[in-house]
Homo-oligomer: A and B are copies of this chain.
Amino acid sequence: MNIQEVHQHLMNHDIKPSVQRVAIMQYLLEHLTHPTIDQIYTDLVPVMPTLSKTTVYNTLKLFYDKKAVIALFIDEKNVRYDGDTSNHAHFRCKKCGIVRDIPIEKTGIPSFKDNPDLHLEETQIYFLGTCKQCM
């Protein structure tokens, strides 16, 4: 996705684009590997040397609040982010830590109809176990 498209993508989510925001969103859209803040920062600093880690934190909080990214709490160590906001689940291998996407059939998603006293904003489905390589 080129810069203009990322720019527009941010605008669509009511986020004022800046050089840093575009770079971070572009990174997320091109790296669907559920990176942590540190991974994003470490990968972007070489091409954007003035980038501050605080900016990465600020920016991802903003993206999350605007629902432009998914925040994954699947890992107790650090939060991971996913630029793919479509409906899907995640699997984490307890041994090597890798996080994989798991497609969810629409019928497989737990419903929330019977809780009128709770306003649902997001549903997170995590599978934990062992991947083939670690078995």
Q: Which residues of A contact B (CB under 8 A)?
A: 71, 73-76, 79, 89, 91, 93-94, 100, 102, 104-105, 108-112, 115, 117-132, 135
Task: Assess whether B104 is in contact with A110, with CB atoms less than 8 Å apart.
Answer: yes
Complex Cα spacing A127 to B89, Å: 13
Task: Assess whether B130 is in contact with A121, with CB atoms less than 8 Å apart.
Answer: yes
A–B complex contacts, Cβ < 8 Å, 9 sampled = A94-B121, A108-B109, A108-B110, A108-B111, A121-B130, A122-B128, A123-B127, A123-B128, A125-B125
Complex Cα spacing A127 to B93, Å: 22
By beta carbon, the residue of chain B nearest A131 is B118
Task: Assess whether B135 is in contact with A112, with CB atoms less than 8 Å apart.
Answer: no
